[in-house]
Structure 1
Amino acid sequence: MQSQSTPSGSPSTTQQPDKAHGGANRDMPPELGSDAVGIFEGRTFMLSNPAGDVPADSIAGLVHDDTRYLSRWELTVDGKAPLVLSANPVDPYSAAFFLANPEVEGLAANRVGVRRERFVGDGMCERITVQYFGAEPISVRLRLDVGADFADLFEIKGTGRSRLADIRRTHRSDGSALRFSYQNSHWSAVTTVEAEPRADRVEGDALVWDVHLGRGQTWGCELRVLLNCRGTDYRPASRTFGEEQDPAADDAAWRWRANKPHLSAESDLLRDVYHKSASDLVSMRIAKEIRGEQVVLLAAGMPWFLAVFGRDTLITAYQSVSCGPDVARGALVTLAAHQGSAVDDFSDEEPGKILHEFRSGELTQLGIMPYGPCFGAADTTQLWLILLSEYWRWTGDDALVQRLRPNADAALRWIDNFGDRDGDGYVEYATRSPEGMRNHCWRDSPDGVQFADSSLPTLPVATCEIQGYTYDAKLRAAQLADGPWADRALARRLRTEATELRERFNRDYWLPARGGYYAIGLDADKRPIDSMTSNMGHLLWSGIVPPDRAAAVARQLMSDQMFSGWGVRTLSTEDVGYNPIGYHLGTVWPHDNSIIAAGLARYGHRDAANRIAMAMLEAAAHFGHRLPEAISGYDRSLGRRPVPYPTACNPQAWASGAPLLFLRTMLGLDANDGILATDPHVPEALGTIRLTGVTVHGARQTVSSG
């Protein structure tokens, strides 16, 4: 998953250094290595080093709604950085840092303990506690240097313009608060840091306390970071670890969490991964009001993607629909409200198209970047139709499906009139935007789609899984036409078109070489792009593969060249471009594997699906029971632990949703006509699974594998 024109998976602008355009791997400055600490809630995240600090000129900081409100947050004791003892997130939205004083004149090291407790959500709250363990009374100077550069998210990792001359400071001389403000045309932002007790003095942009302690004595202060974004105030609540905020009566996210099925399992591994996934998904919630309705949907991932993404949001909603429909409903309603209505080259908008990404920062609001929203995806429209059908199957909500009929009709027209650019019956893509990405499929890095010899195809390209999604979307829309839409003529037409697509696709995309497999796509000259990729598994999920070819596809996916032991790689090790740490060139993606497992199970390859599910669950155990965006594609035989992908988003919504889809696949859950179908086929290592409160058409049911 990437933002527009970004090879590295992190937001960028055309102002970035040339090296940012050089390949699919994401560069990360050294101060944010594997020991960086990130916490988040909703549209707010804080990224720091292990001391809890945000060094000046780093990519760390407090970011809300695509704007950085803290670009410096550095604590020193008598002018020196504290020593790090321990630093870890406690909840998705909180972290604890245990520090000690370094050796300074008159004070030996490790005599003063410093504890920082941090919480984010509509700003940030941080409590600092200092405790002295020496014999003689001491005085230490505690200093917190603060900065706010109000950088747009797309500038944080790049070389965006400095706003320093335009930032106004109105600090309170009594030490109770620092205030930074910035305005550019109609865009404005304010950061206020309140201190209790107030600092003894303000030195520039720093709060300074003179702390006097005897043996065993403790001193503490609380800092609140208040935000104002385009005139709207945000104030963080004072919280404690593990504390749940009281939800509003109409909070769909908390309703989803409260109503999700309860899992009882003999396997601690499965139970821990399930609960971690659910917790992360709730923390990535975005609440919106759409035409008077309060809805919730999921942001794509931490740290750079706490925003609405079409593909990620839709797939995560599909993965989690068996755990409750609220997230799916929110995704459908929100994306329909922003559906394309005109042709706009800058944003790749077209009538009926579902967006790729929606941002709210200054560069977007002022029209400098095309994210308000951008439409650089050729699969989101089909995925929206697929989710609409899946939501209806699980809820029987005829009213919403009828209400969204005009959006569905527009989506179907987009597939035929704009998605199929040349009338050959396939959906192709090629950006028209100067800020556009090369690839508009889920493998959206510049080299994510390539020939087996690693050469890049000429655009436009029609990737295989997009055709599978189109096939599935038309069949599902036909079912809706037979049902709540009561349009039999439309149903017949869509089924005919789907049948013709399936026949044409299996003629043009199947390659007999290497034992038989599907090309990843067709290039501008309609030549098969012959790399062997995990996208074949998406074809099984869509149902476009004939039964007599499913076994060959399954065999390829589970071969040593594709299956690493931790999951299915994005690219075969036999292809020239294979790179186990290439973004889409050999890494293992949990969301990809959850779709592959569901596809394998659809064609009866349940043991292969279970093998993938178990490998992914076992990988999660090495990441605190949280599956990251991707892991490296090194073979499992080379070590006992999965090798992290160096700059993976963690957590990422569709990675957190993957265990929910694995669980559904193992239990064989499906819903149709108000009936919950079950067909458990659970790995022996997981023992008995019991899922209580699975909701179909409003009725809660219990499913057991034993």
Structure 2
Amino acid sequence: MATARPTPVDPMPHVREDAGPQGEARAIPPELGPDAIAVVRGSAFMYSNPVGDVPSGSIGGLVHQDTRLVSRWELRLNGRPLLALRSTPMAYDLAQFVLSNAATSADLPADAVAVRRVRHLGDALTERIEVQSYRTEPVRLELRLAVENDFADLFEIKSEVADRSPWIRRGAAADGTELSLTYARDGFHAVTRLCVDPPAQRIDGTELIWELELGALQEWRLDLRVPLAPDREPGDAARADVDDLLHGRTTDPIREWLATGVRLTSDNDNLQRAVNRSLTDLGALRLDIEVCGEQVILPAAGAPWFLSLFGRDTLISAYQTISGGPHLARGTLLALARAQGRRCHDFTDEEPGKILHEVRRGELTRQGRKPYSPYYGTADATQLWLVLLSEYWRWTGDDDLVRGLRPNAMAALDWIDRYGDRDGDGYVEYATRSAAGLGNQCWRDSPDGVRFADGRIPVLPLATSDIQGYTYDAKMRLAELADGPLDDHALARRLRADAGRLYERFNRDFWIDERGGYYAVALDGDKQRVDSLTSTLGHLLWSGIVPPERADRVVAQLFSPAMFSGWGIRTLSRDDVAYNPLGYHLGTVWPHDNAIAVLGLTRYGYRAEANRLSLALLDAAAEFDHRLPEALGGFYRHRTRVAVPYPTACSPQAWATTVPATLVRSMLGADVVDGRLVVDPDVPPEIGGIRVDRVLAHGRRWTVEARGRQARVRHAPG
């Protein structure tokens, strides 16, 4: 049977769409620079440069539900750009820009006028602009705000944007209070409304103009509002005064949710601050979704480009936070079950029982030009959904939810055995059927993410080793559920037998004795071992598919100089031909990938190694204001002395955001046994003491205090 090579799809898909009837498309837009600032809320973000501006033709703007609502947002004072003094995100949804003027004339030297912009994202984008003169005599100023929108689909923003101008209509209120832009084409409709107070004195095209005359120390204010749902008035939070927002005097359901959750204190400042930052960022990525009449919460994959429901990313993030509370896991399970595959559909790679990869809502998807409605091109999310279902039950004892999701679990199992195993050899393989699909459908989903040690790209379909580990773990966990709330002992026996056969087969077919012994990253379409040495070894420990007698060699590989950079474990060995410290999956260090390895090391009893890796990740977090980026460069720590982020990494990114919770769980050795929270601590001396309050397990709150190998666990009130 003929085999195909992986379809070249970038990790952040770069859409090359035809433009409008003129056939023109813009050149690839510039980045906003390393100091760009994003405010995030739900499925919306506003991304600007440090002045608060979004230059025309850049990747910035206001995006909601994968459609850009503002593509230009530039403030000018007397025709000149302002200068940034300090720009600061005050919270995930709030930013402040303190600015000054450039010299424009003898009457207006530099730094004569201060401008403060305070931006908040809620039900609307709101911005307060304050202008204050420090001249001793009156001064005339022209303030001009240029606003444009191209209504780009999210997939176009970082590549080439089709020209939609023939279908965009502009309107302005006669009294200067509102500017609107409306796009409608082939059934897709979007509106941008900008409301201003005080009204603009003139509107020139899409530029709003105010002529000001300020006395000495006089201040002038302007309020701007762009509703995300233009046909509805924003709620009270969107209309809150900026001073109340800055000083925390407004109610915010996300902050209230965080305030009632788990709380950690530690002697180690790095750990304390990383956990606190993680909780805040998790709030920024929180999605509220209604599923069958129930309002649930779950994490989006990352900001600013992945504020949507994902399969693999969302599942792993929810798993990593389960010890902090079950709410994200419950929401993730229900939301993904609702969208579980029901048919075979080539364009979206959908199959019955399969858990989705990604959901998008932009024009290209709604019109069927992109397959994300949803897209199912992942071969591991289905197993990870079963793993999360098991972990949720262990921590909650929620028999009713497990029983209610039994049809979904059985459909997932059927997908693994019938559709996932494409050729009946007992392994789950993948190969896209979609012309727009992902060639690689494991977590290494870049086009060159899976390669031979000599650099060759393997032929499809691929059976990657991590997916086999997840499959083994999923069947063992589902067997536990079958013996428990599902009350199906025959199913439990069958699943354990299936898992046992996979265990034996995997350890025969994937093991390579050369280079000290390790597991191949995959079997290719010709059943050849793809022999690169990768961080997937840590995933295999997590899943439990590694025999204890091989664990020493696996752990030695992970901490060899070729794999361990000092900041973490590289995705690919330095000894392999394709190694690149900035290759997306070819030598970078991914925090979530390393956190999975930490769990695997803990599972096999390698606590010192787990702590070594945890401390390295906390040191890396400290390099980035205690927020771990999506990925780091794989450079040796002793050589660069500083951690180097992967270019264009998402920040925050969900499964990097939830890493600190995983590290704490590993140090505490926390688990739930027979409805009780139990710990087996090994807290490294560098961390000192740890106290975790309000841990939720089986409906009860617990407090854990640990130092070294000693711990105390007690019920907590409330």
Shorter-chain TM-score bucket reads over 0.9
User: Is this contact kept in 2: 1:296–1:326, CA < 8 A?
Assistant: yes
Decide whether the 8 Å contact of 1:260 with 1:693 is kept in 2.
Answer: yes
Aligned residue for 1:271? 272
Find the counterpart in structure 2 of residue 246 from structure 1: 251
Q: Residue 473 of structure 1 aligns with which residue?
A: 474
Cα distance change on mapping 1:242 and 1:364 into 2, 3 Å: farther
Residue matched to 1:155: 156
Give the equivalent residue in structure 2 for 1:340: 341
Alpha-carbon displacement from aligned partner over 1:131-156 (angstroms, at most 9, x marks no partner):
11122211110000001221111111
Q: Map of 1:494-573 to 2, 5 A cutoff?
A: 494-573=495-574
Q: Deviation digits for residues 381-413 of structure 1, max 9, x if unmatched? A: 000000000000000000000000000000000
Q: Give 1:112 deviation, angstroms.
A: 0.8
Corresponding position of 1:56: 56
Deviations 1:664-687 (Å, cap 9, x if unpaired)? 111101113212120111111111
For the residues of structure 1 that align with 2:587 and 2:309, how far apart are their CA atoms? 27
SS at match of 2:461: coil
CA distance in structure 2 between the aligned counterparts of 1:596 and 1:234, rounded to whole angstroms: 44
Could you say which residue in structure 2 is the equivalent of 1:95? 95
Of 6, 10, 13, the residue aligned with 2:15 is 13
Structure 1 residues 408-427: aligned runs within 5 Å? 408-427=409-428
Deviations 1:139-179 (A, max 9, x none): 11000000122111111122232111111112113221111
Q: Could you say what secondary structure the match of 1:223 adopts?
A: strand
Q: 1:113 to 1:202 in 2, by over 3 A?
A: same
**Residue deviations 1:246-276 (CA, integer Å, cap 9, x gap):** 356xxxx667523422112111211111011
Distance between the aligned counterparts of 1:704 and 1:418, measured in 2?
47
Q: Distance in 1 between matches of 2:438 and 2:367?
A: 21
The answer for unaligned runs of 5 or more in structure 2 is 1-5, 20-26, 708-718
TM-score (normalised: structure 2): 0.94
Partner of 1:77: 77
SS in 2 for 1:548: helix
1:209-224 correspondence runs (5 A): 209-224=210-225
Structure 1 position 432 matched with structure 2 position 433: yes
Partner of 2:714: none
Preserved CA contact (<8 Å) 2:30 2:58: no
Give the corresponding residue for 2:713. none
Letter of the structure 2 residue corresponding to residue 246 of structure 1: T
- The alignment partner of 1:705 has SS state of strand
* Structure 1: distance between partners of 2:193 and 2:674: 54
Indicate the residue corresponding to 1:24 in structure 2: none
Counting only pairs closer than 5 Å after superposition, residues 135-150 of structure 1 correspond to structure 2 as: 135-150=136-151
Alignment of 1:203-352 (within 5 A): 203-228=204-229, 236-238=238-240, 239=242, 240-241=245-246, 243=248, 246=251, 257-352=258-353
Q: In structure 2, what is the equivalent of residue 113 of structure 1?
A: 114
Q: Distance in 2 between matches of 1:556 and 1:276?
A: 32
Q: Contact conserved, 2:449 with 2:585, CA < 8 A, in 1?
A: yes
Deviation at 1:241, TM superposition (A): 2.0
Letter in 2 for 1:344: H
> Deviation at 1:44?
0.8
Query: 1:255/1:403 Cα in 2 relative to 1: closer, same or farther (>3 Å)?
Result: farther
Cα distance change, pair 612–122 in 1 and its aligned pair in 2 (3 A) = same
Range with greater deviation from structure 2 (399-408 or 153-162): 153-162
Give the TM-score taking structure 1 as reference length.
0.95
1:450-465, aligned counterparts within 5 Å?
450-465=451-466
| Residue aligning to 1:406 | 407
CA distance in 2 between counterparts of 1:233 and 1:481 reads 49
Contact 1:11 1:153 in 2 (8 A): no
> Aligned AA for 1:482?
D
Name 1:20's counterpart in structure 2: none
Shift in Å at residue 352 of structure 1?
A: 0.2
Aligned-partner residue type, residue 243 of structure 1:
G
For residue 282 of structure 1, report the CA deviation from its aligned partner. 1.2
Alpha-carbon deviation of 1:585? 0.6
Report the counterpart of residue 46 of structure 1 in structure 2: 46
Task: Note the C-alpha offset of 1:244.
Answer: 7.1
What letter is aligned with 1:43? S
Q: Distance in 1 between matches of 2:186 and 2:315?
A: 34
Count of aligned pairs: 689
Deviations 1:534-565 (A, max 9, x none): 01100000000000011111111011111110
Note if 1:670 corresponds to 2:675: no
How far 1:228 sits from its partner (Å)? 3.1
Give how far 1:16 is off: 8.4
| Cα drift, residue 59 of structure 1 | 1.1
Could you say what secondary structure the match of 2:290 adopts?
A: strand
| Closer/same/farther in 2, CA of residues 67 and 703 from structure 1, 3 Å limit | same
Letter in 2 for 1:502: Y
* Cα distance change on mapping 1:322 and 1:12 into 2, 3 Å: same
- Cα deviation, residue 121, structure 1: 2.3
Letter in 1 for 2:456: S
| Contact 2:16/2:160, CA 8 A, preserved across alignment | no
User: Matches of 1:602 and 1:559 in 2, distance apart?
Assistant: 20
Q: Is the CA contact 1:5–1:12 (under 8 Å) kept in the aligned structure 2?
A: no
Is the 1:76–1:82 contact (alpha carbons within 8 Å) kept by the matching residues of 2?
Answer: yes
1:198-226 C-alpha deviation (Å, 9 max, x unpaired): 12211110111112112211111111111
Question: Displacement, 1:479?
Answer: 0.3
The CA distance in 1 between the partners of 2:409 and 2:131, in whole Å, is 59
Stretch of structure 1 that moved more, 209-218 or 379-388: 209-218
| Unaligned ranges ≥5, structure 1 | 18-26
- 1:96·1:115 contact (CA, 8 Å) conserved in 2? yes
Match status 1:697 vs 2:702: no
The separation in 1 between residues aligned to 2:52 and 2:688, in whole angstroms, is 41
Match of 1:21 in 2: none
Whole-angstrom distance in 1 between the partners of 2:371 and 2:96: 38
| 1:185–1:379 distance in 2 versus 1, CA, 3 Å | same
- CA 1:232–1:569: 2 relative to 1, 3 Å: farther
Structure 2 residue identity aligned to 1:293: E
- d(CA) in 2 for partners of 1:403, 1:258: 30
CA distance in 2, matches of 1:497, 1:163: 54
- Alpha-carbon separation, structure 1, partners of 2:256 and 2:329: 13
Q: Contact 1:317–1:331 (CA<8 Å) still a contact in 2?
A: yes
The verdict on how the C-alpha distance between 1:653 and 1:334 changes in structure 2, with shifts beyond 3 A counting, is: same
- Separation (CA, whole Å) in 1 of partners of 2:444 and 2:686: 33
SS of match in other structure, 2:686: helix
Q: Is the contact between residue 29 and residue 57 of structure 2 (CA under 8 Å) also seen in structure 1?
A: no
State the alpha-carbon separation in 2 of the partners of residues 113 and 696 from structure 1.
52
Give secondary structure in 2 for the equivalent of 1:447: coil
User: CA–CA distance in 1 between the matches of 2:95 and 2:702?
Assistant: 37
Contact 2:75/2:145 (<8 A) preserved:
yes
Superposed, 1:385-396 pairs within 5 Å as 385-396=386-397
Partner of 1:655: 656
Work out the CA distance in 2 between the residues paired with 1:178 and 1:143: 14
CA–CA distance in 2 between the matches of 1:441 and 1:56? Answer: 36
CA deviation string 1:632-681 (max 9, x = no partner)? 11110013310111110000000001111111111101113212120111
Any conservation in 2 of the 1:189–1:228 contact (CA below 8 Å)?
no
How far apart in 1 are the matches of 2:431 and 2:161?
A: 27
Give the alignment's Cα RMSD to 1 decimal.
1.7
